[in-house]
Amino acid sequence: MIDDALLRGAQLASLPWLETAATGFAIERGYLAQLTAAVGPLPSTPGQAATEAALAGVRNALEILSGSERAGCATGAVAALLHDWAVTRDVLDLAATRFGIVAPPRALPPADVSAKALATLGATPGTRRAITFGAQQLYAQHRGLWSLLEARASARGDL
């Protein structure tokens, strides 16, 4: 998502911040891939087809957000992703410890750097609205993903 927002470049002033975020998130994706390989596949769960359809819908929504032509929309979505990722990373680090994986240092822009960037990037009311909209949409997608994960765990009897 960050890479797509960077390539689209709808808000040129956001590019330095997005470049830093994209570089950091590439490290996070590698970490996530390593952790996923260590954990292995989950057992089959009823509703797999519905889950895959829901995930395709989320992916489409994120692609639309990151590809938005409206200055600020993708920026807000990326900011929300970075904000949520800090907490998600805490959970991943706990799982990594259980599987003997050493977590890489965090390389995403710190919250204060992102806040400063957003304050600058949201200089006009229209851009502030677009940033807020993008963030709200990303948070809605994340809520849906966490609900889906909870439902899948419940269906497997893991909760």
Sequence-ordered alpha helix ranges (H) in the chain: 2-8, 15-39, 48-66, 73-98, 111-121, 125-156
Task: Please state which of the ranges 96-100, 123-127, 153-157 shows the lowest mean pLDDT.
Answer: 153-157
Identify the residue whose tokens are 């911040």: 17
How far, in whole angstroms, is CA 151 from its chain's centroid? 20
> Taking 70 as the threshold, does the pLDDT of residue 18 lie above it?
yes
Q: Which pLDDT band holds residue 159 (cuts at 50, 70, 90)?
A: low
Tens of pLDDT, residue by residue over 117-136, are 999 999 999 999 999 999 99
What does the mean pLDDT of the chain come to? 92
Which among 78, 80, 73 has a CA at the least distance from the CA of 127?
73
SS3 for 14?
A: helix
C-alpha Rg value of the chain to the nearest Å:
17
Instruction: Report which residue type is found at 47.
Output: G
For residue 137, which of 85, 63, 87, 27 has the smallest C-alpha distance? 63
Three-class SS state of 88: helix
Indicate whether 7 pLDDT > 80.
Answer: yes
pLDDT at 95: 94
**For the chain, how far is it from start to end, CA to CA, in angstroms?**
30
With CA atoms as reference, report the closest residue to 94 among 13, 29, 39: 39
Local confidence band at 44 (pLDDT 50, 70, 90 cut-offs): confident
